[in-house]
Amino acid sequence: MAMKHEFSLAYAQELDASDSLNRFRSRFLFPQHEGRAAVYFTGNSLGLQPVSTRDYVLQELNDWQTFGVEGHFEAKNPWFSYHEMFAKPLAKLCGAKEKEVVAMGSLTNNLHLLMVSFYRPDAKRNKIICEKKAFPSDTYALQSQIRFHSFDYREALIEIAPREGEYTIHEDDILAAIELHKDSLALVMIGGVNYFTGQVFDMQKITRAAHDAGAFCGWDLAHGIGNIELKLHEWQVDFAAWCSYKYLNSSPGSVAGMFVHEKHLNNPAIPRFEGWWGTDPQTRFLMEDTFRPMDSAWAWQLSNAPVLTMAAHKAALDIFEEAGFENLRTKMRVMNSYLDFVLDEIIRMKGAGKMEIITPRKAEERGCQVSLVFPGRGKELFTALTQKGVIADWREPNVVRIAPVPLYNSIEDIYRFGEILMEIL
């Protein structure tokens, strides 16, 4: 049964007082506005810094100072095996086995490495299906992979767009495109959560359809990991990649990650680009001429761990572990319910023509993010929000993205946002 909400500060504070996760708010550092914490709603773009991050990074700097190169084995967290600490928490967040995940590289770099393995076009099968209005870096990566294999991306890249006059994509249109191109399809590669609208796709259904068509299926989870429930192993996803600086709060441009399903591990038919850190650690320092891949997604690693950004990553993931992702998901549902109520109240009071919500309302089709369109208003509205202490996100031509996250945002934040937006409108 839907909760009966009130648009009042007292009600918002009452919900916060009963929130068992509200204590985690003090574990993060908020930008300040006029002497108080700003309403920070851009966890979908850059998560806040945990208070503990400084100590985690300083630990590695101190060990570097103390041990020099010997820190690879003598540091408190030996750098040689540093990446191994991320297998358990990332596997939980991905719904994967520990051997299927690895913290490494950067998002687009990892997508390219994965497409080396899973986009192997030939004269018959060379098409890729993706969503229209994917994040530009994904589009560039897909286009360049197609060109690299000497095909024309204008013919090989099939982009599924929203229908006329709509913002979100009908999944039936994706499935229909897979069926239409099944004889020439090599890969389906889509953002699991669309960065522009916040739409969550049914990854299990689309992955199954891609496999039925004889194609691989991979996902960009930059806006998915730490936000929505993932069951990548169970869904038989071939591969996925993500960054860690959005919902995972792991510092700007921090180390990213990838997933490779266990069915592809140690499969000699799956090629990969190879580097020293993908080799068996037992023989790594023998400096052999022959590559001996690790029996895990770690075989896709090229270089040794970027320890300083990984330290920030560990600080954030330790908080996720403590909070419990299921608990965060439960709180997110309450937050989404209240946010919907506040936005609907604003529409009711100001008129439907003042604001449009373009993110799906169904729980299974959304995460934390809500995208708003303000007909007839330009960036000056976004600027007004910023001047009043709301840190949101602007996307051309006329979309404001907000993402109250359960780890550090509060119901009072949502109330304050609603109050400020009401005043501006």
Q: What is the pLDDT of residues 53-88, one digit of tens each?
A: 999 999 999 999 999 999 999 999 999 999 999 999
Cβ neighbours, 10 Å, residue 98: 16
- Amino acid (one-letter) located at 11: Y
367 secondary structure, DSSP code: -
Question: Which pLDDT does position 163 carry in this prediction?
Answer: 97
The answer to whether the CB of 402 falls within 8 A of the CB of 45 is no
- The residues spanned by each domain of the chain are 9-30+325-424, 57-321
The model's pTM is: 0.95
Angle (CA) 294 245 158, round 5°: 75
Predicted confidence (pLDDT) at residue 209 exceeds the cutoff of 60: yes
Distance separating alpha carbons of residues 217 and 187, to the nearest angstrom: 6
Give Cα 89 to chain centroid, integer Å.
15
User: Which top CATH class is 9-30+325-424?
Assistant: alpha beta
Residues in Cβ contact with 71 at an 8 Å cutoff, skipping those fewer than 6 apart: 60, 63, 64, 78, 79
Instruction: Please report, for residues 14, 140, 402, the alpha-carbon distance to residue 237 in angstroms, rounded to integers and kept in the order given.
Output: 42, 22, 29
* Window from 161-170, 284-293, 298-307, 387-396 with minimum mean pLDDT: 284-293
3 pLDDT higher than 80: no
pLDDT bucket at 2, cuts 50 / 70 / 90: low
| Three-state DSSP class for residue 158 | strand
pLDDT, position 122:
97
The pLDDT of residue 60: 98
Token pair of 37 as six digits: 């914490």
Instruction: Among 3.40.190.10, 1.10.8.10, 3.40.640.10, 3.40.50.720, name the CATH number for the domain at 57-321.
Output: 3.40.640.10
- Distance, in Å, from the CA atom of 403 to the CA atom of 39, rounded to the nearest integer, reads 11
